[in-house]
Amino acid sequence: MGVEFSLWDYLVPTLILSGALVVGLVGRRYLFHYLHKWAQHTHWEFDNVVIQATRGPFVLWVVALGIYLALEFSRLPDELVALLGKILLALVVLSMTLVLANIISAIFQRMVARGEVEAPATSLTRTFIKAGVIIVGILVLLSTLGISITPILTAFGIGGLAIALALQDTLTNLFAGFNVSMAKQVRVGDYIKLDTGQEGYVTDINWRTTSIRDFSNNLIVIPNSKLAQSIITNYYMPDKPVTIRIPVSVSYNSDPEHVERVLLELGSQALAEMPQLDPSFAPVVRLTNMGEFSLNFLLVVRAKTFDDQFSAQHELLKRILKRLREEQIEIPFPARTVYLREVGASSNLPLQSPASEWD
C-alpha cells in the first residue's frame, strides 16, 4: 500500500513557504530601508556596499530557508529530501559567493580611488578579483558536498594546454592587459598617444581590449597585445602638468632686454590670474635665435593638465599680442629683399631701390 497523505501534510509546508516568501519581500522592503538610514550615520563607509550587495539575494536566502523547513515537515522520501537539500545548499553557497565577490570588488575599487591600495582600478583587475572569489567558493561548495576536487584540478591541468592553444589570441590579450595594468604605466584616466597616431583618455582596460576616448568623443578600441607592443607617450606621467612653449617674434629694432622684461611680467601676471596654469612653475623667457627677419623669443609656462594647455595657450596669445602693441614692440612680417641688375651693364653693383617680396 502507498503512503497516505493528509491535508495537514500539504498545508504545513505550503504555509511555511508562503510565510518565508512574505517575510523575504517585506523584510527586504522595510529592513533594508532602515539599514540604509543607519548606514548614513556610521563612520564605516563600506556598510553601504554590504547592504546594497545583500539586498538582492536576501529574498532567495529566506525562501531557501523556508523550503528547507518545509522539507523537514514534509513526508517526502528521504532520498528526495537529501537531494533537494543539496540543491538548496548549492544555490545558497553560490549566491553568497557572488555577493562576497561583488563586495570585495566594490571595496577594492573604493580603496584604489582613495589611494589606499597601489593597484589599477580597471575592469580587468575587478574581473580577476571576482573570478578568484568565485573559484574559491565553487571549490568550497564541492568539498562541502563531498565531491573530491583533486580529479577536477587534474583535469583542468591536463585540459589547460588544449584550452591555451584554442584560445591563444584571447589569452595573449588577457595577459597583455594584466601586464599593462600591473605595470601602472598606463592607467585609467591618463591621456596617452600611441606611435600609430591614436590618442585620447584611457577609459578602461578589460580582459581583451583597452578603450580610449579621443577629443572627438569617439571610442578607440585597441587589443591589449597591440597596446603592449606600442610606443606610448603618457602625458599624465610622471605628473599631470604640461609645459607650454609659446614662440614670440619681434623686430630687430626692439631691445631684447625690454622684450624679455615685458614677457616675464606678462607671464607672472597670467600665473596669478589664470587658474589653468601651474603656480609652482615660474615663467621662463629665452631668446632662442636670431632669424632672417626677427628676434625669436620663447615664453615657457606650465599648465595643470593636458586639457588646460589649450585654453591657457589661447588666453596667453591674446595677452601677448595686446601687451606688445601697448609697449609699441613691433611684430615683423616675413620679407625678402630683391636686388635688380641691368642687363648688359658694366657695373655689378645692385640698384639703390630694392623691392620687397612678401612670403
Q: Does position 17 have pLDDT exceeding 50, yes or no?
A: yes
Query: What is the average pLDDT across 98-119?
Result: 74
Q: Calculate mean pLDDT across residues 125-151.
A: 78
Give per-residue burial for 224-244: e unless 16+ CB within 10 Å, then b: bbebbebebeebbeeebbbeb
What's residue 356's pLDDT? Answer: 43
pLDDT computed for residue 353 by the predictor: 45
Of the two residues 259 and 2, the one the predictor is more confident about is 259
Query: Do residues 219 and 203 lie in contact, with contact meaning Cβ atoms separated by under 8 Å?
Result: yes
**Domain identity same for 220 and 293:** no
Same domain as 194, residue 258: no
pLDDT of residue 9: 58
Q: Is residue 2 part of a domain?
A: no
Residue 136 lies in a domain: yes
Q: Assign 45 a pLDDT band (cuts: 50, 70, 90).
A: low
pLDDT of residue 89: 81
Does residue 137 share a domain with residue 14?
yes
Is it the case that residue 326 has pLDDT exceeding 60?
Answer: yes
The range of the structural domain enclosing residue 204 comes to 169-234
Asked whether residue 191 is domain-assigned, the answer is yes
Are 119 and 214 within one domain?
no
CB proximity list for 142: less than 8 A, separation 6 or greater: 149, 152
Question: Is 118 domain-assigned?
Answer: yes
Looking at the structure, tell me whether residues 225 and 264 fall in a common domain: no
Same domain, 195 and 313: no
Q: In terms of domains, do 141 and 56 share one?
A: yes
Question: What is the domain count for the chain?
Answer: 3
Domain assignment present for residue 36? The answer is yes
> Based on the domain organization, do 16 and 142 belong to the same domain?
yes
Angle at 220 between CA 214 and CA 223, to 5 degrees: 140
Task: Say what the pLDDT of residue 113 is.
Answer: 66
Query: What single letter denotes the amino acid at residue 164?
Result: A
Residue 148 pLDDT: 72
d(CA 118, CA 108): 10
Q: Is residue 79 part of a domain?
A: yes
Asked if residue 33 belongs to a domain, the reply is: yes
Question: Which of 31-40, 43-52, 105-114, 307-316 shows the highest mean pLDDT?
Answer: 307-316
Does some domain include residue 22?
A: yes
Q: Which domain CATH number covers 218?
A: 2.30.30.60
Backbone φ and ψ for 142, nearest 5 degrees, come out as: -65, -40
155-200 pLDDT, tens digit per residue, is: 666 566 556 555 667 778 777 887 887 777 888 888 999 988 889 9
Question: Does 259 lie in the same domain as 130?
Answer: no
